[in-house]
Chain A
Amino acid sequence: MSGVKIDGVFKRYGAVQVVHGIDLDVAEKEFVVLVGPSGCGKSTTLRMIAGLEEISDGSISIDGRVVNRIAPKDRDVAMVFQNYALYPHLNVAENIAFGLRIRKVPKDEIKKSIADVAEILGLTPYLERRPADLSGGQRQRVAMGRAIVRHPKVFLFDEPLSNLDAKLRTQMRAEIKRLHNRLNVTSVYVTHDQVEAMTLADRIVVMNDGIIEQVGSPMELFMNPVNTFVAGFLGSPPMNQIKGTLTDKGVDTNGQSILLKGGLSSQAGRDVIVGIRPEHITLKPGKASSPIEISLDLVEPLGSEALLHATFGGEPFILKADTNGDIDHLSGVDKVHIPADLVKIFDAETGRVIESDAA
Chain B
Amino acid sequence: MSEGAERKPVIVDTKLSFPERMVWLGDHFKREWQLYVMLAPTIIWFIVFLYKPMYGLQIAFKDYSIFRGVVGSPWIGLEHFETLFNNDQFLRAVGNTIKLSALNLLFGFPAPIILALMFNEILSATYKKTTQTIVYLPHFISSVIIAGIVITAFSPTAGIVNTIMGWFGLDAIYFLTKPEWFRPIFIGTGIWQEAGFGSIVFLAAIAGVNPSLYESAVVDGANRWQMMWKITIPSIMPTILIMLIIRIGNIMEVSFELIILLYQPATYATADVVNTFIYRQGLQSGQYDLAAAAGLFNAVVAFVLVMTANTLSRRFSRTSLW
Is A83 located at the chain interface by the 8 A CB criterion? yes
Determine how close the nearest CB of chain A comes to the CB of B220; give it in whole angstroms.
4
| CA A98 to CA B221, docked complex, whole Å | 10
Contact, CB under 8 Å: B220 / A89: no
Is B234 located at the chain interface by the 8 A CB criterion? yes
**Which one of A72, A87, A103, A150 lies within 8 Å of B213 (CB-CB)?**
A87
Chain B residues contacting A50 (CB-CB under 8 Å) are: 215, 219
Determine how close the nearest CB of chain A comes to the CB of B206; give it in whole angstroms.
15
Contact, CB under 8 Å: B234 / A102: no
CB-contacts of A255-277 with B (<8 A): none
Q: Contacts A99-B221, A102-B222, A102-B226: A85 and B237 contacting too (C-beta < 8 A)?
A: no
Contact, CB under 8 Å: A87 / B234: yes
Determine how close the nearest CB of chain A comes to the CB of B318; give it in whole angstroms.
9
Is A120 located at the chain interface by the 8 A CB criterion? no
What are 14 A-B residue pairs whose CB atoms fall within 8 Å in the complex? A73-B219, A73-B220, A78-B220, A79-B216, A81-B212, A81-B216, A85-B213, A87-B234, A88-B234, A89-B234, A98-B230, A99-B221, A102-B221, A103-B221
Determine how close the nearest CB of chain A comes to the CB of B219; give it in whole angstroms.
5
Is B143 located at the chain interface by the 8 A CB criterion? no
Chain B residues contacting A72 (CB-CB under 8 Å) are: 218-219
| CA A303 to CA B210, docked complex, whole Å | 42
Contact, CB under 8 Å: B218 / A52: yes
Chain A residues contacting B220 (CB-CB under 8 Å) are: 73, 78, 98-99, 102-103, 146, 150
| CA A296 to CA B37, docked complex, whole Å | 56
Known: A73-B221, A87-B213, A146-B216. 11 other contacts (CB 8 A): A52-B215, A52-B218, A73-B222, A77-B219, A78-B219, A85-B210, A85-B212, A85-B213, A88-B234, A99-B221, A102-B222
CB-CB contacts of B67-107 with A at 8 A, as 1s and 0s? 00000000000000000000000000000000000000000
Contact, CB under 8 Å: B217 / A102: yes
Chain B residues contacting A103 (CB-CB under 8 Å) are: 220-221
Q: Contacts A83-B210, A83-B212, A87-B230: A98 and B217 contacting too (C-beta < 8 A)?
A: yes
Is B235 located at the chain interface by the 8 A CB criterion? yes
CB-contacts of B211-257 with A (<8 A): 212-213, 215-222, 226, 230-231, 234-235, 237
**Which one of A51, A89, A150 lies within 8 Å of B237 (CB-CB)?**
A89
Does more than half of chain A's interface fall in helix, strand or loop, or is it mixed?
A: loop
**What's the tally of chain A residues with a CB closer than 8 Å to chain B?**
23
| CA A1 to CA B218, docked complex, whole Å | 24
Contact, CB under 8 Å: A88 / B235: yes
**What's the tally of chain B residues with a CB closer than 8 Å to chain A?**
17
Residue of B nearest to A73 (CB): B221
| CA A84 to CA B237, docked complex, whole Å | 21
CB-CB contacts of A100-121 with B at 8 A, as 1s and 0s? 0011000000000000000000
Determine how close the nearest CB of chain A comes to the CB of B300; give it in whole angstroms.
35
Chain B residues contacting A83 (CB-CB under 8 Å) are: 210, 212
Contact, CB under 8 Å: B219 / A52: yes
| CA A325 to CA B216, docked complex, whole Å | 49
In order of increasing CB-CB distance, the 7 nearest A-B pairs are A73-B221, A99-B220, A85-B212, A85-B216, A89-B234, A81-B212, A102-B221
Chain A residues contacting B237 (CB-CB under 8 Å) are: 89
Chain A residues contacting B218 (CB-CB under 8 Å) are: 51-52, 72-73
Does more than half of chain B's interface fall in helix, strand or loop, or is it mixed?
A: helix
| CA A84 to CA B216, docked complex, whole Å | 9
Contact, CB under 8 Å: B231 / A85: no
| CA A99 to CA B221, docked complex, whole Å | 7
CB-contacts of B196-213 with A (<8 A): 210, 212-213
Residue of B nearest to A75 (CB): B219
Determine how close the nearest CB of chain A comes to the CB of B239; give it in whole angstroms.
13
Determine how close the nearest CB of chain A comes to the CB of B229; give it in whole angstroms.
11
Determine how close the nearest CB of chain B comes to the CB of A143; give it in whole angstroms.
8
| CA A42 to CA B1, docked complex, whole Å | 39
Determine how close the nearest CB of chain B comes to the CB of A186; give it in whole angstroms.
15
Residue of B nearest to A74 (CB): B221
CB-contacts of B12-60 with A (<8 A): none
Chain A residues contacting B221 (CB-CB under 8 Å) are: 73, 99, 102-103
Contact, CB under 8 Å: B235 / A89: yes
CB-CB contacts of A130-162 with B at 8 A, as 1s and 0s? 000000000000000010001000000000000
Contact, CB under 8 Å: A79 / B219: yes
Contact, CB under 8 Å: B215 / A81: yes
Determine how close the nearest CB of chain A comes to the CB of B222; give it in whole angstroms.
5
Chain B residues contacting A90 (CB-CB under 8 Å) are: 234
Contact, CB under 8 Å: A87 / B226: no
Determine how close the nearest CB of chain B comes to the CB of A47; give it in whole angstroms.
8
Residue of A nearest to B222 (CB): A102
Residue of B nearest to A79 (CB): B219
| CA A83 to CA B211, docked complex, whole Å | 10
| CA A110 to CA B231, docked complex, whole Å | 20
Determine how close the nearest CB of chain A comes to the CB of B210; give it in whole angstroms.
7
| CA A82 to CA B181, docked complex, whole Å | 56
Interface centre among B219, B220, B231, B235 (most CB of A within 10 A): B219
Determine how close the nearest CB of chain B comes to the CB of A172; give it in whole angstroms.
18
Interface centre among A72, A77, A146 (most CB of B within 10 A): A72
| CA A34 to CA B219, docked complex, whole Å | 20
| CA A317 to CA B187, docked complex, whole Å | 77
Determine how close the nearest CB of chain A comes to the CB of B79; give it in whole angstroms.
52
| CA A146 to CA B213, docked complex, whole Å | 12
Determine how close the nearest CB of chain B comes to the CB of A154; give it in whole angstroms.
11
CB-CB contacts of A40-84 with B at 8 A, as 1s and 0s? 000000000011100000000000000000001100011101111
Determine how close the nearest CB of chain B comes to the CB of A27; give it in whole angstroms.
22
| CA A87 to CA B213, docked complex, whole Å | 7
| CA A356 to CA B239, docked complex, whole Å | 67
| CA A102 to CA B231, docked complex, whole Å | 12
| CA A40 to CA B231, docked complex, whole Å | 31
Interface centre among A51, A82, A88 (most CB of B within 10 A): A88
Residue of A nearest to B218 (CB): A72
| CA A87 to CA B235, docked complex, whole Å | 8
